[in-house]
Structure 1
Amino acid sequence: MMGAVRIILLRHAESLGNVDELAYTRIPDHAIPLTGAGREQARETGPAIRELLHGDRPAVYLSPYLRARETFALLGIEGACERVAQEPRLREQDWGNLQDPREQEVQRQRRHDFGHFFYRLPYGESGADVDDRVAGFLADLARRGEDHPGTVLIVSHGLTMRLLCRRLFDWSIDLFESLSNPGTCEYRVLESDGGKWRLDRPFAQWRESPDGQTQG
């Protein structure tokens, strides 16, 4: 992709897993649906995304997880898009298959103590694994030809969004681990004129980065 590029990153709307962690014990992560509130949240976000598009017909890349696909469908903008594709590299961090709730809590604490980037979940992934696959996606996106839309909409997950930004801005691991996920149906806009990337607004931070790096 050459010239000006704009990427809109959108986290999926509220899902059953956001309000009921036991849902993961009976429903595969990729099949977790939106809640009723989440469906309404996605519908209400549609006009804001349409306004961000400024009449552009974007290329849309979706996490194949149900909650991301449902979110996009409810935005009501599919007819205004140049192309829509599911992209497995944009999926959520893999926590394994149906999860035992007690073991899940143990793993959350170990991951917090060890660090979200390097800790590999048993039968699942580390943040570094997700970082590798989003890097591959971004490299492929950069190689798209002149006929590829300059505006891209990505509907994905909180950690995946942060890692996409980490790659584009070359953020340190310390800074990445200091950032909070965006809220459900929250978005960020990234723009580049072929040189430096710009982020419309920073992610919330729960601590200062130990190495002193900032999002600016």
Structure 2
Amino acid sequence: MQQQNCKRRLQPVLPKRIILMRHGESEGNLDHAAYTTTPDNKIPLTQEGLAQARLAGAELHRVVSDTTGADSPNWRIYFYVSPYERTRSTLCQIGRSFSRTRIIGVREECRIREQDFGNFQEQDRMKATKETREQFGRFFYRFPEGESAADVYDRVSSFLESLWRDIDMNRLRHDPCHDLNLIIISHGLASRVFLMKWFKWTVEQFELLINLGNCEFRVMQLGKGGEYSLAIHHTEEELQEWGLSPEMIADQKWRARANRVDWTERCPWYLDSFFDQLAESEEDNGDSDDIWHETDEKIPQTN
């Protein structure tokens, strides 16, 4: 019996929630001139940002404890945090709302850092550069000496692969008897890119998204069928405000109740985003055998 219990504990258990949060208000959010004298990674939070983070901690506690529902009282949290000063400070203030027994781990993760805009950022030059980005396209435009959103996508994709390995190999020291909540404290663009990668959104769909506000968060919650969805915790109105199209919202609602293995078969909007028109069946598109015969007749024969 003890051996069976050990085997059961070693089996990977999916987190109940994956929560993406942007840092609190920073000096750079308040005054862009801060970037001209202070490296981006060392920009601190404002007093307002510290207060936002403390309030966000209380709200996160309410979400993960979910005392109004029938969830297990034995919930736990694991933090991933960007190495920047403003994200680390946000995490520190959030920690005031949790006891040591609830936090099973914290990991600093460089791959979820802010988009690199270059080193010290001269204001007039950055203003002109961002105007050029609007003309070129926000996803593919690469800042001189910096990154594009596509570059951020690549490193966030690498982080996601590591995250899944951590879950599969039980590296998070997760007791299956507990509800695990992963909280990722990062930046606006990195969070949007994370969602894009996770939900397989296209570049066009990504560019519809509205950036998270300071200390705003998005809750991806595990549905009964094993898929994560934004529509379990958040309302349709919220999803609309964040820039999700009707097709994207329908997909989130479907994921809330869908089985993971059914995604490709039950998600037609994804195909429709790539093709102008697809026939529903071979019969609707004509007899495929006749098409091949007609093509064969047109090929010149050679000896």
Whole-Å separation in 2 of the counterparts to 1:136 and 1:87: 11
1:68 maps to 87
Q: Which residue of 1 aligns with 2:228?
A: 197
How many angstroms apart in 1 are the aligned matches of 2:249 and 2:122? 36
Match in the other structure for 2:104: 82
Instruction: Note the alpha carbon deviations across 1:63-104, whole angstroms, 9 max, x for none.
Output: 101000000101113723110111000100000100111110
> 5 Å matches for 1:1-216?
1-54=12-65, 56-75=75-94, 76=96, 77=98, 79=100, 80-144=102-166, 145-146=169-170, 148=172, 149=174, 150-192=180-222, 195-199=226-230, 200-201=233-234, 202=239, 204-205=241-242, 213-216=247-250
Between the aligned partners of 1:90 and 1:67, the Cα distance in structure 2 is: 13
Identity of aligned residues (%): 40
Contact kept, 8 Å, 1:182 with 1:203, in 2: the verdict is no
CA RMSD in angstroms comes to 2.0
- Measured in 2, the distance between the counterparts of 1:107 and 1:215 equals 33
Q: Report the residue type matching 1:163 in the other structure.
A: V
CA distance, structure 1, for counterparts of residue 119 and residue 181 of structure 2: 35
C-alpha contact 1:24 1:98 (8 A) present in aligned 2: yes
SS at match of 1:96: coil
Q: Which has the larger radius of gyration?
A: 2
- Is the Cα contact below 8 Å between 1:14 and 1:184 reproduced in 2? yes
Instruction: Tell me the CA shift for residue 204 of structure 1.
Output: 3.1
Shift of 1:44: 1.4
8 A contact 2:87–2:185 mirrored in 1: yes
Q: 1:203 to 1:64 in 2, by over 3 A?
A: farther
Query: What are the Cα deviations for residues 148-197 of structure 1, in whole angstroms up to 9, with x where unaligned?
Result: 24320100011111111001110110011111101101011102357422
Taking CA–CA contacts closer than 8 Å with sequence separation of 6 or more, which of the two structures ends up with the larger relative contact order?
A: 1
Which amino acid in the other structure matches residue 241 of structure 2? A
8 Å contact from structure 1 (residues 181, 203) kept in 2: no
Name segments (4+ residues, structure 1) moved above 4 Å.
none
Please tell me the residue identity of whatever aligns with 1:204: E
Give the match's secondary structure for 1:7.
strand
Equivalent pairs counted in the alignment come to: 213
Secondary structure, in 3 states, of the residue corresponding to 2:221?
Answer: strand
Distance 2:14 2:111 in 1: 25
TM-score for the superposition, normalised by structure 2 = 0.66
Cα deviation for residue 132 of structure 1 reads 0.7
Partner of 1:146, secondary structure, is coil
Using structure 1 for the length normalisation, give the TM-score.
Answer: 0.91
| Cα pair distance change 1:78/1:155, threshold 3 Å | farther
Q: 1:69 to 1:173 in 2, by over 3 A?
A: same
Give per-residue Cα distances to partners, 1:28-60, cap 9 Å, x unaligned: 000000001111111111111112222522110
Determine if contact 1:162/1:181 at 8 Å carries over to the other structure.
yes
